[in-house]
Amino acid sequence: MFSNHQNTGTIIEPTDVETTFGRSTAIVLRACRVYLGTDTQDSLRNFLDLAPVDWKEVRRLCLAHRITPVAYRILLESNPPAPWDKTLRNELKRRLINSMDKGKETARLISLLRSAGLSVFPYKGLAFSLLFYGDIGMRESGDIDLIIKPEELPLVNDLLKEDGYLPEEEDFVRFLGWDKFTKTRRGYNLKKLDRTGLPVHLELHWRVTYNYFGVGKFNNAFSYETDELLTVYQQRLPLQNKFEQFKYLYVHHSMHDGHGYLKTALDIAMGLKKLNPTAEDYTQHPILRELTGTFSLAAAVEASNSLFGTDLALPAHRRQQKLAARLVETTLLEKSRQPGKMGSDFASYFRHHTGLIHKRAQFYPELSRKMQFYIQNLAHFFQPNVDDYRIFRPKSLWAYRLIWIIRPLRQLFTPTDPLHRKQRSEEKAQIDRIRNKTL
């Protein structure tokens, strides 16, 4: 699809991006490069003047790639025509206010929980924004994420309920037992309405990623040691060191998203720009060595250089040019396609999830680990989840184990919706319950 310059780690030319993925994708990617300092605002303006701009499609791509704070700021410097100048400016303002509100709530929750003697740290959104972007409003974030200790989850849950948060699956957790739940899962979700009546999604984490992702000897636990303190809205927030924070985000988003968004690639580039590792650091620093050997960090570094024109050092002992090329193509291709109708039958479910599993498997350099990943994902397919529990309402753990047999058959008739339409419907009903409770 591209010329051989992909395999050398050199920058992809905007003309190649435009030819393959469309002019709007080339514009959005170029805005990211201006932000990273690998392109200039004047160069972007000249590119915009070469041909008509489909601003509706540019906006859609910014939203789809989850990079509106970065892209909108750069594009607004190019003076887009009316009404798009006002549209982008108003959306940027709303997202900045939303980021500030989430930051304040994150700081408040951490203060609340730590005042009760609990271990809690910010995760992804606020922490990564401040450490690697230097600005709370430059990185789009949908949820509030916190790191907790698994054994403290019951107490955290009670304190958050007293604070007005509503757990999403407490019935399922109490049926399994807190200990069994935390050993087999990685997170716990709650909701609350903000000051405008919109839901705040709170996610509690105690593992970096799912165990069924075939982590093997990878250290899948969080660090609970404070490396530095950041002052956010008059609150002193504890943080783990920058390499730990980069590890968490890289593994989480590479494995979960499969490089389907420019946001993931931009986060990796911003993280590495801040850490500034040398080629030797990939073999000497314990976290970088672990990520390079276990989750193909080398390919992600090379993909970032190709996408953004950065000159990040490459781990020469682990060059993976073919995978880097696939990551570049995946990042740009998925969102360049106009969204179409996706079915909710078993065939649609099967295509969506097997494709996602295949993308995730790319990140394992060794064949043995790929096979382990596939086997453990197959086993996970049989594992009942909260939906299965609520459908069958087993009376005992013995009866619950029977759902392992029933679950594959259930997916034939009521498969998991790839677009999460059922989940959105349930979320709306849950938000209504929260509103009724607060009246």
> Closest Cα to residue 240, out of 146, 153, 105, 315?
146
> Closest Cα to residue 39, out of 78, 69, 88?
78
Alpha-carbon span 286 to 218, nearest angstrom: 11
Q: Are 7 and 321 in contact (CB under 8 A)?
A: yes
Would you say residue 47 has pLDDT above 90? yes
DSSP three-state, residue 200: strand
Output phi, psi for 239, to 5 deg. Answer: -135, 150
Report the range of poorest mean pLDDT among 29-33, 228-232, 276-280, 324-328.
228-232
Would you say residue 431 has pLDDT above 80? no
User: DSSP code of 22?
Assistant: -
Output phi, psi for 145, to 5 deg. Answer: -120, 135
Alpha-carbon span 179 to 89, nearest angstrom: 48
User: DSSP code of 1?
Assistant: -
Residue with the bigger pLDDT between 139 and 319: it is: 139
Question: In angstroms, what is the C-alpha Rg of the chain?
Answer: 22
Alpha-carbon span 410 to 173, nearest angstrom: 21
Would you say residue 424 has pLDDT above 70? no
Neighbouring residues of 284: CB distance < 8 A, sequence distance ≥ 6:
none
Output phi, psi for 238, to 5 deg. Answer: -80, 145
The pLDDT, as a whole number, for residue 8 is 39
The pLDDT, as a whole number, for residue 24 is 94
Highest-pLDDT range among 68-72, 313-317, 348-352: 68-72
What length is written for the chain? 439
| 110-169: pLDDT as tens digits | 999 999 999 999 988 888 888 888 888 888 877 899 999 999 999 999 999 999 999 999
Alpha-carbon span 292 to 315, nearest angstrom: 8
The pLDDT, as a whole number, for residue 62 is 94
| 352-401: pLDDT as tens digits | 677 777 777 777 777 877 888 888 877 777 788 888 888 888 888 888 88
DSSP strand pairing (144-148 vs 199-205):
parallel
Q: Which two tokens stand for residue 70?
A: 């970065």
